[in-house]
Amino acid sequence: MILGLAVVMYGLVIAFPHKKAWFTLGAALVVGLLGVVSPAKIFGELINWNVLLIYVGSLVIADLFIYSRAPARLADKIVVKAPNLGWAVVFILVMTGLLSAFVENVATLLVMAPIALALSDKMKVDVRYFLMGIAVMSNLQGTATLVGDPPSMIFAGFAGYSFNDFFVKDGKLSVFFAVQAGMLVGAVFFYFFYRGMKNQKMDLPAEPVRTWFPTALLVSLIAGLAVISFLFEGFSLLSGGYVFALGLVGLAWYRLVMRESRSEVWRLVKGLDWETILFLVGIFVVVGAISETGLLEDMSLALGRFVGDSVATGYIVIIAVSVLLSGFIDNVPYIIVMLPVAAELASGLGLRPELYMFGLLIGSCIGGNLTPFGASANVVAVGILKKRGTVLKFSDWVKVAGPFTVLTTAAAGLFVWFVWR
């Protein structure tokens, strides 16, 4: 019954992605009505409130960071200091990635898109590939930290990883540095892609900063999570409470200090990614119910029989399947289902679970770069181009993003293999 319900839910989510929250919440309601799990367990165990609090709080801070215009000012300075336009484009893409490690991917894209459009219009550069580069770089780095993207938060909740554990865990360089290996390869890829612009110099009028307070909030978020990770082992609920509280402080500042109207504050709150938040709630319940039935253990056993005793085969299969699937379906439900499967498979082969879980995380997140609809940032980038009357075809996207995805995934995957094997 639960397996059939999950299959129908996933089918509807894939067929009608813009209604995905309704389908997952509906499936969660059916789970509750069938009594597969009790309401107490649903609200007390299955729904990961820590992930939801971190996501909501970080979304608020990201919106306020955009409002402050601080990232645009930093990008302007990078462009001015760059020796030529080719380097300026690469520097902007690298900055996009680093920013996306701490700010939600779509928010990062919306911050950087006006800069890309201004550069492209003034220097007659093909804006399609510049905006594509911003989207894929933001998706790549969303994997790097606890607050970068929902899959990382979900992984942290499952594995008990703190903010600091994304950097160093048990004396080993962790997933952050694996992603940076991918970013370096991605930066080299785009440098050669744009090397024909090496003789052009670029200048833009400096963007005035409205306020530095959201920047201070973002720095406080990072520093606070680092301190909490140091004082409290694992994925503490204090992390979610802290980030959510910072978001509330930001809203209060927006209303009282910046004197924005109540309707403007409501517009900001209403504009948060509530669809993904509700989608996560439904997915937590449905996947939790699947776990209760033992189906995930059956999946891990079946996968174990397929890969046999070959650690390398298991690792390659997990990454390759994750990349291919995430190019076409939402990676959030996939991550939630596959994390326990990957951990169980690693355990059966006598490995640390991180090897396969990191491979899963990297493959499913970077794999979203494969197609123009594989990640939300990609969809938004294509939408921005469409509003300007510019069409980015599927083949145009894959021609550039395909090699980028393969190269960056391989670099990050090899890093994990050699450090965690």
Q: How many domains does the chain have?
A: 1
Q: Is the pLDDT of residue 181 over 90?
A: yes
Q: Is the pLDDT of residue 226 over 70?
A: yes
Average pLDDT over residues 194-214: 71
Cβ-based neighbours of 287, under 8 Å, separated by 6 or more: 6, 333, 336, 337
Can you state the percent helix, strand and coil of the chain, rounding each to 5? 80, 0, 20
Average pLDDT over residues 306-326: 88
Q: Is the pLDDT of residue 44 over 80?
A: yes
CA neighbor of 322 nearest in space, from 290, 369, 275, 278: 369
Neighbouring CB atoms inside 10 A of 21's CB total 19
253 within 8 A of 213, measured Cβ to Cβ: yes
Can you say whether residue 160 is alpha, beta or left, with left for phi > 0 and alpha for psi between -120 and 50 degrees? left
Rounded to two decimals, what is the model's pTM? 0.82
Q: Is the pLDDT of residue 31 over 70?
A: yes
Neighbouring CB atoms inside 10 A of 98's CB total 15
For 84, the token pair is: 């030529």
CA neighbor of 135 nearest in space, from 399, 407, 412, 397: 397
Average pLDDT over residues 189-217: 77
CA distance 378 to 405: 13
User: What is the structure's pLDDT at 296?
Assistant: 65
For 411, the token pair is: 């670099």
Cβ-based neighbours of 40, under 8 Å, separated by 6 or more: none
Most distant CA pair in the chain: distance in Å?
67
Q: Is the pLDDT of residue 330 over 80?
A: no
User: What is the structure's pLDDT at 180?
Assistant: 96
For 336, what's the count of Cα atoms within 13 Å in the CB-facing half-sphere? 25
Range name among 190-199, 324-333, 352-361, 366-375 with the lowest pLDDT average: 190-199
Range name among 42-46, 169-173, 199-203, 360-364 with the lowest pLDDT average: 199-203
Range name among 11-15, 24-28, 119-123, 380-384 with the lowest pLDDT average: 119-123
Q: Is the pLDDT of residue 80 over 80?
A: no
Range of the domain at 91: 2-420
User: What is the structure's pLDDT at 206?
Assistant: 63
Q: Is the pLDDT of residue 198 over 70?
A: no
Determine phi and psi for 246, rounding to 5 degrees: -60, -40
CA distance 220 to 243: 9
Taking only the tens place, the pLDDT of each residue in 336-377 is 888 988 998 888 888 899 999 999 999 999 998 998 878 878
CA distance 59 to 269: 9
Average pLDDT over residues 25-52: 88
User: What is the structure's pLDDT at 268?
Assistant: 93
Q: Is the pLDDT of residue 187 over 90?
A: yes
Judging by beta carbons within 10 Å of its beta carbon (0-12, 13-18, 19+), is residue 272 exposed, middle or buried? middle
Q: Is the pLDDT of residue 203 over 70?
A: no
What separation in angstroms does the CA of 315 have from each of 64, 157, 189, 237, 368?
40, 22, 25, 31, 19
The residue among 90 and 251 whose pLDDT is bigger is 251
User: What is the structure's pLDDT at 207?
Assistant: 66
CA distance 155 to 42: 19
250 within 8 A of 66, measured Cβ to Cβ: no
322 within 8 A of 369, measured Cβ to Cβ: no
Judging by beta carbons within 10 Å of its beta carbon (0-12, 13-18, 19+), is residue 137 exposed, middle or buried? buried
